[in-house]
C-alpha cells in the first residue's frame, strides 16, 4: 500500500494513531498495543520500524496527556523517579536486544506481551484496607505519600521497594524491546508489590511511561531505525488523539470501555503470536 498510494498510507497511519493515542491516554496502556499490530499486520511495515515509531509515539502521548492533566496531586513523583532508574536501564537494554533480534521473534514476543498485559489489566484491585507499617526503604528514600479519598486524606507507606524495582526493570525491558508503554506492568509493581493505592499507582504510571520510552528510543535513533515516513504521520495523529483521550477520562465510564478494549487486545495478541510463530518456523 505504501508504494502504490503513499497518501492513503499516511492517512491510515494518522487515523490509527489518533485512535491509539486516545485509547492510550484513557486507559494508561500505551498506544503501541493498537499501533504496532496495524502497522505490521495491515500495512506491512517492518516490525522494528513499527516498534521505533511506537516508542516515539509513547513519548509524545505521555507529554500530550500531561498538557491536559498538568501536575497531578495524586501522582507520587518520588516513587516514579526512583523506579525510573530501573525502568530506564531496562528500556535501554531492551532496545539494544531488539536491534539484533529476529523480527519474527519480536512479533511473537509482542503478541505474548499483549496477552500478559490483558491478564494484568483485568486482575482485581488489591488496595490494603489498613495502613501498613513504614518500611526501611520507604523511610530512607521518603517514598510514602498521601491519597485523597472521599473520607479524607489517607496516608500510605510504600512496601518492598527492591521487588518493585525488579518488576520495573522487566517493564522497561519490554518497553524498549517491544515499543509499548508497559503501563500494566508498572501498575503491578506499585499496586501489588509495593502496596500503593491503585489510583496513585495508575496516575504515577502514566507519568512514568514517557520517560521509560524515551530511554529506549535513544537506541533506535542511534542505529537509524526511526523511519521518518512512519514516525511522522504517527506523531501527527498521536498528539490530538492523546489530548482528546485525556479530556474524555473524567467524562465517560471507562470500565466498560476497558473491558471491550481488553477483548480486542486479546484477539490481537493471539493473532500476533501465531503470525510470529508461523513466520519463525518457515
Phi/psi at 134 (nearest 5 deg)? -70, 135
Cβ atoms of residues 31 and 17 within 8 Å: yes
> What pLDDT digit, counting tens, does each position of 41-96 carry?
788 888 888 888 888 887 877 766 666 555 566 778 888 889 989 988 998 998 88
Taking only Cα atoms into account, the Rg of the chain, rounded to an integer number of angstroms, comes to 18
Kindly indicate the confidence band of residue 3, based on its pLDDT and cuts at 50, 70 and 90: very low
CA dist 178 and 53 (Å) reads: 11
Are 178 and 109 a contacting pair, CB within 8 Å? yes
Q: What is the pLDDT of residue 207?
A: 74
- Bridge partners of residue 154, in order along the sequence: 147
As given in the structure block, the three cell numbers for residue 192 are 501489588
The predicted model gives 197-226 an average pLDDT of: 81
Q: What is the spatial distance between Cα 25 and Cα 86, in angstroms, rounded to a whole number? A: 23
265: left (phi over 0), alpha (psi -120 to 50) or beta: alpha
How many angstroms from the chain centroid is the CA of residue 151?
A: 31
Average pLDDT over residues 162-187: 83
pLDDT computed for residue 73 by the predictor: 65
C-alpha cell at 22: 486516545
Q: How confident is the model at residue 130 (pLDDT cuts 50, 70, 90)?
A: low
pLDDT of residue 63: 67
Which of 176, 154, 167, 171 lies closest to 91, judged by CA?
A: 176
CB 39 within 8 A of CB 233: no
Please give the share of the chain, as a percent, with pLDDT higher than 90.
3
- Residues 132-164: tens digit of each pLDDT: 788 888 888 888 887 776 666 778 888 889 998
Q: Which pLDDT belongs to residue 193?
A: 83
Tell me how far apart the alpha carbons of residues 132 and 146 are, in angstroms, rounded to a whole number.
13
Amino acid at each position: 500500500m505504501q508504494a502504490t498510494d503513499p497518501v492513503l498510507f499516511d492517512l491510515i497511519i494518522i487515523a490509527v494513531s489518533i485512535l491509539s493515542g486516545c485509547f492510550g491516554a484513557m486507559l494508561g496502556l500505551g498506544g503501541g498495543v493498537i499501533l504496532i499490530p496495524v502497522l505490521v499486520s495491515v500495512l506491512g511495515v517492518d516490525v522494528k520500524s513499527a516498534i521505533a515509531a511506537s516508542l516515539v509515539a509513547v513519548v509524545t502521548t505521555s507529554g500530550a496527556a500531561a498538557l491536559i492533566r498538568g501536575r497531578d496531586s495524586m501522582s507520587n513523583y518520588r516513587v516514579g523517579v526512583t523506579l525510573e532508574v530501573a525502568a530506564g536501564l531496562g528500556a535501554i537494554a531492551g532496545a539494544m536486544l531488539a536491534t539484533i533480534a529476529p523480527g519474527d521473534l519480536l512479533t511473537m514476543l509482542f503478541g505474548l506481551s499483549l496477552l500478559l498485559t490483558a491478564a494484568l489489566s483485568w486482575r482485581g484491585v488489591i488496595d490494603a484496607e489498613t495502613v501498613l507499617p513504614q518500611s526501611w526503604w520507604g523511610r530512607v528514600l521518603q517514598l510514602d505519600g498521601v491519597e485523597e479519598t472521599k473520607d479524607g486524606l489517607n496516608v500510605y507507606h510504600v512496601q518492598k521497594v527492591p521487588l518493585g524495582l525488579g518488576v520495573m526493570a522487566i517493564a522497561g525491558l519490554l518497553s524498549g524491546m517491544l515499543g509499548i508503554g508497559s503501563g500494566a506492568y508498572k501498575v503491578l509493581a506499585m499496586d501489588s508489590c509495593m502496596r500503593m493505592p491503585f489510583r496513585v499507582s495508575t496516575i504515577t504510571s502514566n507519568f512514568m511511561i514517557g520517560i521509560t520510552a524515551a530511554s529506549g528510543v535513544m537506541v533506535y535513533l542511534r542505529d537509524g531505525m526511526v523511519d521518518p515516513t512512519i514516525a511522522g504521520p504517527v506523531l501527527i495523529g498521536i498528539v490530538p488523539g492523546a489530548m482528546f483521550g485525556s479530556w474524555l477520562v473524567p467524562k465517560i465510564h471507562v470500565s466498560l470501555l476497558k473491558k471491550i478494549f481488553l477483548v480486542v487486545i486479546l484477539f490481537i495478541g493471539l493473532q500476533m503470536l501465531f503470525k510470529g510463530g508461523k513466520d519463525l518456523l518457515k
